């Protein structure tokens, strides 16, 4: 980091991103790509082909970042981690930043038959992500700015600039522990100039409601997460989740009048390779989104395409993030 840039970073605690900004960050429109659960793609070329398509079309999309909604694996097995790790090297080699969240299939809580790996202690196994962190260490995440636990990607945040605005991707573990949620609250409050994107595995039900239990073996429910983190802070804007096999969408008003736009994408596809593309226009306050199949060169016709208008983005050096209780 150049001396002048270092001085600027230290002088302003409210600047969201300390790394070099995305090359097209001053433009008004950019794309986020969101991968659903890809647990059915732990063999074969589908995941790698999808990522190669994103890399090949990076310029025309003005692709800022790739997100993945959890269940990167089907089971907590080394061959699957090795396969998915190799596929993600497409993004590593292209220099495209990405962030991933932990699903239940990415932990020691799920065994090959899909059941509990340790009856009576499945909650502890849900937090056993040793293999995930071995194959996806913090050093792989080029926009990583901080973690809840040292050396673990499970709860982390990543920053970037795009469309002339500051962005923060907040990763939270599945059915999170209270300590992780409390940490996340401090991150959001400390970055009031950032438009916060929350990425967690389980959140919306198939009918678009917010899940109100902990899945039977987690800690806190998604409703707890909404009440404690999503609703109180004015700079939370987007949320992406998976886990249940469908697509969905809902909007909620935050406690300070902001709207939170929440997207579910989870297809458990056994043949093709869907990816949600979101074209974000920061000047006009819109999101145009659709689910696209690179393998078919076609959109998915399931009601997942929509245009959202009237979005009030957080502008640099204009916001405070004090929650309303």
Element (H, E) at 252: strand 247-253
Strands 275-281 and 306-308: unpaired
Q: What is the pLDDT at residue 318?
A: 52
> What pLDDT score was predicted for residue 325?
45
Q: What is the pLDDT of residue 115?
A: 77
Q: What is the pLDDT of residue 112?
A: 83
What Å distances lie between residue 18 and 1, 32, 141, 142, 146, CA to CA? Answer: 9, 20, 14, 12, 12
Write down the pLDDT at residue 322. 53
Crossing angle, helix 78-94 and helix 46-56, to 10 degrees? 10
- pLDDT of 4 reads 38
Task: Note the pLDDT of residue 321.
Answer: 55
Domains of the chain with bracketed CATH? 25-308 (3.60.21.10)
List, run by run, the mean pLDDT of 10-residue segments along the chain (325 residues): 38 36 60 97 97 98 98 96 98 98 96 75 94 98 98 98 98 98 98 98 97 96 98 98 95 97 95 97 98 96 96 81 53
Question: Are 201 and 218 within 8 A, CB to CB?
Answer: no
Would you state the pLDDT for residue 220? 98
State the pLDDT at residue 116: 76
- The DSSP code for 13 is T
């Amino acid at each position: 980091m150049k001396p002048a840039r270092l001085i600027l970073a230290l002088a302003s605690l409210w600047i969201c991103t300390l790394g070099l900004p995305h090359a097209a960050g001053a433009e008004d429109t950019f794309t986020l790509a969101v991968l659903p659960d890809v647990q059915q793609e732990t063999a074969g070329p589908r995941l790698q082909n999808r990522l190669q398509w994103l890399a090949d079309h990076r310029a025309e999309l003005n692709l800022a970042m790739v997100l993945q909604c959890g269940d990167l694996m089907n089971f907590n097995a080394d061959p699957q981690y090795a396969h998915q790790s190799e596929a993600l090297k497409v993004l590593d080699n292209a220099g495209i930043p990405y962030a991933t969240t932990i699903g239940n299939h990415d932990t020691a809580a799920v065994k090959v038959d899909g059941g509990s790996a340790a009856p009576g202690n499945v909650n502890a196994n849900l937090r056993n992500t040793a293999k995930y962190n071995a194959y996806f260490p913090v050093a792989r995440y080029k926009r990583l700015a901080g973690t809840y636990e040292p050396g673990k990607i499970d709860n982390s945040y990543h920053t970037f600039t795009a469309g002339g605005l500051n962005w923060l991707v907040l990763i939270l573990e599945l059915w999170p522990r209270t300590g992780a949620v409390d940490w996340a609250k401090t991150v959001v409050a400390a970055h009031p100039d950032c438009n916060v994107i929350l990425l967690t595995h389980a959140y919306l039900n198939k009918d678009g409601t917010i899940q109100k239990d902990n899945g039977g073996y987690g800690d806190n429910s998604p409703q707890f997460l909404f009440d404690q983190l999503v609703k109180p802070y004015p700079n939370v804007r987007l949320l992406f989740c998976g886990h249940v096999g469908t697509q969905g969408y809902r909007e909620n008003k935050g406690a300070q009048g902001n709207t939170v736009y929440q997207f579910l994408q989870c297809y458990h596809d056994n043949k093709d390779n869907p990816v949600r593309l979101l074209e974000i226009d920061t000047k006009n306050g819109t999101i145009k989104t659709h689910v696209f199949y690179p393998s078919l060169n076609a959109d998915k016709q399931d009601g997942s395409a929509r245009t959202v208008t009237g979005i009030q983005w957080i502008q640099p050096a204009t916001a405070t993030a004090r929650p309303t209780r």
